[in-house]
Structures are given as C-alpha cells and as structure tokens.
Amino acid sequence: MFEILASDRYWLKNAHIPLSLLENTQLTSDTKEGLCRVDLEIFRGKINTIVPANSVASETPEIELKGRIILPGFIDLHTHLDKGHIWERSPNLEGTFDQAIISITKDAQLYWNLEDIYRRFEFALKCSYAHGTTVLRTHLDTYKNQSDISFEVFKTLQSQWKDKLILQAVSLATLDYYLTPQGLTLADKVAEIGGILGGVAYTNPELDIQLKQVFKLAQERNLDLDFHVDENGDPNSICLQKVAETAIKSQFANQIICGHCCSLAVQTPEIANKTINLVKEAGIAIVSLPMCNLYLQDRTPNQTPYWRGITKVHELKNAGVPVTFASDNCRDPFYGFGDHDMLEVFKEAVKIGHLDTGYDDWCNSVTKTPADLMGLSQFGRIKVGLNADLIIFKARYFSELFSRSQRDRIVLRKGKPIDTTLPDYSELDDLVLKGIVS
C-alpha cells in the first residue's frame, strides 16, 4: 500500500466517507450511518476525482480499501497548549475546578518560561499532527507579563509548523482585565499577530460593562471573539445569555464562539430555550469540551456525579446553532488525561452526548464546522481540488471506528503518508523532574 501512496497518481477504491463531508457531488448514502461508498483519485497531492465505487475503469495504481472509513484531517477548535503536560509536577488531586486554578497558577509562577512552554507546546503539536489534525486553535494565558512569553512561543511555533499545522491563538484573561490599560495593550497585541480576542466570563455585578468593553475593543480592531462561559453547574450562571444579548445590542458582525456552556444543561427549559434563541439570533457558535467537562463538573468527594457536564448539544444543533467539539486541556490540572487526538474527542462526545442514534452529520463537528468557523473552508471536508489531507481508518463503520483505538490509522498529507509515531513522554522528563524536585 505505501508504495502506491508514494505515487504521483493513484486511486483509493471502495472507501466509506460520510455524505455530509463530500461536497459538490451527486452521491447518496448507502448505509444507515450516512456513509457513501466511493472511489477517490489522488493526483499530485490533491483530490482529483470523486465517483461512486467501481464506476470508473482505470489503469492508474489503486488501493482496495474494502469499505474502510476515510475522514478529512481533524480541526481542533479549542485547546490550551501552554498548560499541557504538567500533571506529574502539578497534579489536581481533588479533581475540582477551583483546585485546578490553584495548581495552574502556582505552576505558571514557578516554571512558565520560554523553554518550558515551547517544549510542552511543541510536544502537543507532535501528537496532534501524528493523529491527523490539520488546524488547531489554542488559548494562551495572558495575565501580567505572561502574554509576552506565550505569544513569542506561539509565533515561533506557528512559523516552524506552518507546513504541517495551521495555528490560531486566542488571548485568555478574565473580562475585568480588559477594563485596564494592560487590557488595551493586550487587545493591540492580539490584533498585531492576527489572533482572536478571548476571555473568561464570570457572573459578577460588572459583567455587562466588561462585555461591552470587550466587544468594543474587538470591533475597533476587527477581531473575532472566543469566550469561556458558564463552566459550572450553577443554574443561575447565565453568561452565555449575556454574551448573546451584548452581541445583538452591539450589532457585532464578526465571529463569536462560546466554549463550555455547561450550566445551560442544568437550567429550566424556559431559561435554556431563551438563551438558545438568543445565541441563534446573535450568530454565536458553540464548542463543547466533552472530556474535560465530564472530568470536572459535578465532582464531589465520595459522591457519584449526577450529570455529564456537557451543554445541550442536541437542542443547540436543532435550533440551527453551529455545534463543535474540541480537546481542551491535556494532562494538566483541568484534565489529567488526553493525547490531542480528535478521534478520541469525537468518540467520547458520541458516547457522552448520545450522538449515535442516528449519527446524522455529527462528524462535521470535528471537521467541516470548526473549519468554517475559523475561516478555513479549504479544510475539514473532502472535495475535488482540495489537498488530499486525509485519514484512512481500518474501521468500515462508525460502530467499528468507536470500538477500537484506530491507532493503526494512515494519515495522508497532500496525498503522502506521514510518520504517525507519537512523541515519547520521556522527552519531557527533565521538565517533570524539575517540578518534583522543587
């Protein structure tokens, strides 16, 4: 197979591809899962032809896939790569959100210099790339002087990895920070690097003033917005509703994404439906972080959790709100696990959110939909003329895809297989040991 994949021109025969990810074709699904049986011709790194399986005779080299699933490269819309891979030196043994904040703050004060962030950040990129991600957005902590360090690391890695991964950066600060002179400087810095203005919204008496200021800063600099909202189980937390109301009042035209939105799931139907309608009117998109929120939400010592942490993804999607899933934190105090694998994210989202009966177009939530929200419509779909950035799985159906690890996937970039060897954790040993010794 790999000899053929190294060719300039070849066919991938009898592949299963979700109908929702195939653009500008007249194909139809042949399974209950919405999969199409197709042949793809790859020519000089691009998708040259998409036709029904076995409908075209050709003397070009071909690979018989026998129904294996092909997906486009994954899009990871919400990560925290400056925080990742510090669990061993700064664990969160309580497993709570508050303790995560304490552990992260202490770790940052002790260790977050250029080398430390660069090496952990790059380790995360190696994992994402090997798993098949093509586009990634990361939030960067920007309190005090941390923004100078984190933004410098981001710009360096963005340049070094430009031929492998498209990277976007979001500033991460509490919204009150934007009421200060330092907040104005941060907004200018975000505009300078072409980033996204972001922040964490908490319920407080000045929330309306804070939101008005953040929207004003974004409008003046023509920036998109990306908020953390309602990452809790408090039914009285309505920051998402406040963001939507501010967006409507300010007639904000750029993209707005809100992450987490956990409290929406524990509110009354009247409050939740009001918020969802406002979110739809404001044109806001939602990113759910299923693994991290399952880990943190409703955690009480010696008590079994009663809810799953994620927001009302079905209700939002049914209302016409774009819904996506992303990996969020990885091996840090907010989530002690993870490997920057968007298949794992999607697999867990399916199980946690009951997205399997039927699968519909939920696979768009980790591919096509986040790509569009990031302004990158050439990614996250399978279409003639686009780069052959594809992932070939051994699984033939979603039930197979979600039942085994799929570690043996083949990742293609511009039609050529890449090395999918993951970086070894030992690469970070000296950083971990430094923390343990200290």
Phi, psi of 415 (to 5 degrees): 80, -5
Residue 64 annotated among the catalytic residues of the structure: no
Q: How many degrees, rounded to 5, is the angle at CA 362 between CA 326 and CA 131?
A: 45
* 239-250 vs 269-282: helix crossing angle, rounded to 10: 30
CB atoms within 10 A of CB 274: 15
How many helices and strands (H and E) does the chain possess? 14, 16
Task: Single out the residue of 272, 378, 368 nearest to residue 324, CA to CA.
Answer: 368
Give the number of C-alpha atoms closer than 13 A to the C-alpha of residue 153, restricted to the C-beta side.
25
- From the candidates 33, 41, 122, 231, give the one annotated as an active-site residue: 231
310-324 b/e (C-beta count within 10 Å ≥ 16 → b) = bbbbebbbeeebbbb
- Identify any residues that bridge with 76 across adjacent strands, giving them in sequence order: 136
Q: 309 burial class (0-12, 13-18, 19+ CB within 10 angstroms)?
A: buried
Q: Sheet with 46-52: list strands edge to edge.
A: 46-52, 35-43, 9-18, 62-64
Q: How many degrees, rounded to 5, is the angle at CA 386 between CA 383 and CA 391?
A: 80
Active site amino acids = 231
